[in-house]
Amino acid sequence: MIRSVGSLTLPLAFAALAFANSANAAGDYPTATIADYVLGCMQTNGQTRQALESCSCSIDVIASILPYDNYERAETFKSMSLTTGEAAGLFRESAPAKAARTELKRAQAEADIRCF
């Protein structure tokens, strides 16, 4: 019996994890972070073998450009900037937030060029 995880089948989800973890570039990134990125990317780009390969490539490129601490910082600023209220402005407008988001956008742009 094949069990579903979201709209992915369990074997495809395991394949995504194995494929994403095989690259050395993402070696410093936790497995859960890699899997989360690949699965989210596949939801956006289609749940095909080609999407799996492109999304896995993408996180590898990002990991080769950004140390994990920088990636985590940028993702935190990004998610916190989506909250409402005056305090959320710090996550949108502060110099560290802007720098972290810019660094992540550049890494993602490079990944798009190389992988998609």
pLDDT tens digits for range 71-109: 999 999 988 888 887 777 778 888 999 999 999 999 999
Please give the model's pTM, rounded to 2 decimal places.
0.74
Instruction: Evaluate the CA torsion angle 26, 32, 33, 36 in order and state its sign.
Output: positive
Secondary structure class of 8 (helix, strand, coil): strand
Residues pairing with 9 in the sheet? 4
The set of residues, in sequence order, having a beta carbon less than 8 Å from that of 115 and lying 6+ positions away, is: 54, 55, 57, 58, 61
pLDDT at 93: 85
| Tokens 């916190």, residue located | 80
Q: Tens digit of pLDDT for each residue in 8-62?
A: 554 555 455 445 444 445 679 999 999 999 999 999 999 999 999 999 999 999 9
